[in-house]
Chain A
Amino acid sequence: MSEEEVFRIVIDPKDHRDLPRAVITDCPSHLMTKTGSWRTLRPIVDLEECIKCGICWKFCPDVSIEVKEEGAVVDYDYCKGCGICAKECPVDAIEMKKEADYV
């Protein structure tokens, strides 16, 4: 399928005539579901403390941490706030704070 076709048939169908013949999925999940809104706790990375070891990236079940030049960066659009990163960080550079204080 061409990209336009993917969009028409799979991402933005108007009625059954635009649907694929069976339930065949091709819309990247990150375009449909932003799970950041589920969060009640927000991980805050202290970039001064971060040693860029990548353990938080490794153990993030939501693929929402990237280790960049400056350190671990959380993608708050998708982070569900499970707190695994804070728990597993070997230097305690991540703290879970109340999401309510940020919205």
Chain B
Amino acid sequence: MSEMKIVSGNFAAAYGAKLSRVEVVAAYPITPQTEVVEKIAELVAEGEMDSEYIKVESEHSAMAACIAASNAGARAYTASSAHGLALMHELLIWASGARLPVVMTNINRAMGPPWSVWADHHDTLAQKGTGQLQFFCESNQEVLDSVIMAYKICEDEDIMLPAMVVEDAFILSHTKEPVEIYDQELVDEFLPSYDPDYKLDVDQPLGFGSLGMPDWYMDFRYKIAEAFEKAPDKIMEVNKEFEEVFGRDPGGLIEEYKTDGVDVLIVTMGSISSTSKDVIDELREEGHNVGLARLRTFRPFPVEEFRKLTKGVNVVGVMDRSYTFGHGGDAAREIKDALYGHRDVILKDYIVGLGGRDLTPKILKNVMLDAISLQDKGLDREIEWVDLRINQERWRR
């Protein structure tokens, strides 16, 4: 029987791995991910989780060990955050190049210096080009759901790619919420065991990952691109199946909140979405025609969906909890890419909440009101950093 437990986002991730019957776990501790590895260690030590847990000496080795285990035909899992994820960079690319469905949980945390352990999406988005699917979660339930879903999507023969299920540091990772821990039989029904067609096998001695000359390299890369092209449909298909089995919609590519016929569309990612939805309700009561799109799947980027969603919209206000230097907020830039040549719309990029800076309902409301005001006054600036000390008075009033 499924049971409701009050657990943190980190415990939800650990239970997601357990329910997915992960065979090999290799992970290294880092704040704020530590509870994931502690919980898994405990579940294994208590015999509740039948996994080989490799206590590696670094995140780089964690992903290397997961890649090797996956190549040997085992379902592999790891978890990390910020600097740990950055250290994994080389292997994130390796996992997608080798077409291995390793799933990891990343706890979104700011990169130093200054040292910071608080919420920020830059760590994950700095890895957006590594060939990982990326799912941004809004709740602890979604963390658990997304881990299970990710294996189903990634192990599909048309996809065979690694994935990152991400949650915001502390806001989700250390905050307890009621989470439904599904019955194992139900999960088994949804997620069959991992059985790849090629793996390390002494009876069929193949070589994995050899040197590829220019005459083939490009064709192999194109095959990865093809898998990414197929991924949006596969994600939606698995999302639907998940909903049928578990009675819950994890959010697909984009979760739409009161977006029908809106003039102003607000875009958020991760944990700020919940507070933002309350603010949307408030603004609608005040008579503003505003709705919210929660960008759940950053990779593959839902290009078509954004084009559909912005039809008839006057202003798109994007809240980015990350900033790529010399470029801008990652989500805003990618949405602009998607809309180019398709929509004539005002788009403003709000840089918010870096390094865990608190995002109160008041600040979120002022951001949305600013977006709404652009309908009359036009775009004042493309990118605005919100709640800096220099402009705090304006955003907190």
Interface residues of A (CB under 8 A from B): 1, 15-16, 19-26
Contacts and interface: CB of A to CB of B under 8 A. Distances in A.
Nearest to A26: B206
Contacts of B210: 23, 25
Interface string B75-106: 00000000000000000000001110000000
A26 B208 CA distance: 9
B222 A22 contact: no
B351 interface: no
Contacts of A15: 219
A24 B223 contact: no
A26 B212 CA distance: 13
B161 to A, nearest CB: 10
Contacts of B226: 16
Contacts of A16: 219-220, 222-223, 226
A22 B206 CA distance: 12
Contacts of A19: 216, 219-220, 223
A15 B98 CA distance: 19
B340 interface: no
B247 interface: no
Given A16-B223, A21-B99, A23-B216, 7 more contacts: A22-B98, A22-B160, A23-B97, A23-B98, A23-B212, A25-B206, A25-B210
A23 B211 CA distance: 8
Nearest to A20: B198
A15 B219 CA distance: 7
B343 to A, nearest CB: 33
Nearest to A1: B204
A57 to B, nearest CB: 23
A98 B181 CA distance: 76
